[in-house]
C-alpha cells in the first residue's frame, strides 16, 4: 500500500501576538497553501467576528497570495463578505531569468 500525502495541516492558536486563530495548510516542501480561521481579536466594537481564508501559490518561484475571502459579522447590520483575487503582471524575483531557482516550480497554471 502506497501512502501519498500532499498537504500537512497545523493549528494556529490565538497567542498574544497571533492575528488568526485557525489552521494553516502546508505542503511537504514547506510552502504555505492556505491559512484559515478567525481573527484573534475583534478589530472594533462594530465588528464582532471576522472569518478569514487566504490562499497562496508559487508563481515564478516566489510564494505569493492569490486569494482572500473574509466574512464579518457587523453589529446592527449583519453579515458582510469580501472576496478578492490577486493577479500579478510582474513579479520581481531579484534573480536573473535563467537562474535555476527562477525556473523552479510554477503553480500559476493549476
Strand partners, 52: 37, 70
* DSSP code of residue 43: S
Helices and strands in the chain: count of H runs, count of E runs? 0, 6
pTM: 0.68
Q: Please name the residues in contact with 9: beta carbons below 8 A apart, sequence gap of 6 or more.
A: 23, 24, 25, 26
Is 52 in contact with 36 (CB distance < 8 Å)?
yes
Cell numbers 504555505 correspond to 32
**What's the chain's length in residues?**
110
pLDDT tens track, the chain, 110 positions: 443 445 555 555 544 456 888 888 888 888 889 999 998 888 889 998 999 999 999 988 889 999 999 999 999 999 999 999 999 888 877 765 555 544 444 554 44
Amino acid at each position: 500500500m502506497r501512502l501519498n500525502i500532499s498537504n500537512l495541516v497545523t493549528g494556529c492558536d490565538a497567542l498574544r501576538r497571533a492575528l488568526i486563530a485557525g489552521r494553516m495548510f502546508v505542503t511537504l516542501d514547506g510552502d504555505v497553501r492556505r491559512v484559515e480561521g478567525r481573527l484573534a481579536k475583534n478589530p472594533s466594537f462594530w465588528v464582532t467576528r471576522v472569518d478569514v481564508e487566504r490562499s497562496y501559490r508559487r508563481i515564478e518561484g516566489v510564494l505569493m497570495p492569490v486569494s482572500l475571502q473574509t466574512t464579518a459579522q457587523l453589529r446592527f447590520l449583519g453579515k458582510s463578505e469580501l472576496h478578492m483575487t490577486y493577479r500579478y503582471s510582474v513579479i520581481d524575483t531579484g534573480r536573473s531569468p535563467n537562474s535555476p531557482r527562477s525556473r523552479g516550480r510554477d503553480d500559476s497554471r493549476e
